[in-house]
Amino acid sequence: MHDVPYFRPPELSGILADSAGIGFAMSCEDRTGSILATLAASKPGGRFVELGGGTGAGAAWLAMGMDADARLTTVEVDPAVQDIARRHLGTDPRIEFVTADAGDWLTEATGTYDFAYVDCRPGKYLRLPDLLTLLAPGALYVVDDMNPQPTWPDDHQPRVDGFLRDLPDVPNLRATPMHWASGLVIAART
Ligand SMILES: C[S@@+](CC[C@H](N)C(=O)[O-])C[C@H]1O[C@@H](n2cnc3c(N)ncnc32)[C@H](O)[C@@H]1O
């Protein structure tokens, strides 16, 4: 038994090489990506959102699990970072790239989503209730980087501690913390 992923998105090597080229070291790791793809495959025709899209590694994994009718909106505040994602994934008609602050996106968002992968402060440490109101019953909510990361600023650990402490009390959410990969929480909206 091992936990090495069975598959990898074809775009991933190029995305990671270009990410290294600009010194971007925050892409999700392969184990996280693999579970994103597996969970994504459980939502045929689903509406997906990723907040904090980075250079597109997470989006590539999600897209690998999504079927032809599923749609992903990936939101990233830094256009230079997102440019790598656009270059490698821009021909995938299922993916919409939004260059915006995720907080602003949350203010404007309408409709319901079946899957949220949240990788920046809005939707996780900020405005979690606003994100959760967008999720349909049965929708999945996934966050990573719950274990200490070398890229964290000095004041970040208390944010993570508070998030993990409060999560069991969030109404209509069944969450499981996973001390695995970068530290995940996988939750379902009830
Ligand atoms: C951990 S990285 C994303 C990695 C990516 N989700 C993946 O799985 O490969 C976090 C990203 O969030 C972006 N970000 C930070 N604050 C943001 C905000 N308020 N709105 C949108 N994006 C934000 C950063 O620029 C960075 O690219």
Would residue 30 count as lying in a domain? yes
Residue 7 lies in a domain: no
5 in any annotated domain: no
**Rounded Cα–Cα distance for residues 153 and 158 (Å):** 11
167 within some domain: yes
Assigned domain for 174 exists: yes
181 lines ligand 1 (CB under 6 A): no
Q: What is the pLDDT of residue 56?
A: 99
pLDDT confidence of residue 132: 98
Q: Determine which residue's CA is closest to atom 10 belonging to ligand 1.
A: 52
Q: Does any ligand 1 atom lie closer than 6 A to the CB of residue 101?
A: yes
**HEC states along the chain?**
CCCCCCCCCCCHHHHHHHHHHCCCCCCCCHHHHHHHHHHHCCCCCCEEEEECCCCCHHHHHHHHHCCCCCEEEEEECCHHHHHHHHHHHCCCCCEEEEECCHHHHHHHCCCCEEEEEECCCECCCECHHHHHHCEEEEEEEEECCCCCCCCCCCCCHHHHHHHHHHHHHCCCEEEEEECCCCCEEEEEEC
pLDDT score at 135:
98
Q: pLDDT tens digits, residue range 108-125?
A: 999 999 999 999 999 999
Average pLDDT in the chain: 97
Tens-place pLDDT, residues 50-101: 999 999 999 999 999 999 999 999 999 999 999 999 999 999 999 999 999 9
- We report the CATH number of the domain holding residue 21 as 3.40.50.150
pLDDT, mean of residues 144-162: 95
Q: Which domain holds residue 82?
A: 12-189
1 C-alpha to ligand 1 centroid (Å) = 32
Q: Tell whether ligand 1 has an atom less than 6 A from the beta carbon of residue 116.
A: no
Q: Over the stretch 93-110, which tens digit does the pLDDT of each residue have?
A: 999 999 999 999 999 999
SS3 14: helix
**Domain-embedded: residue 1:** no
Count of the separate structural domains present in the chain: 1
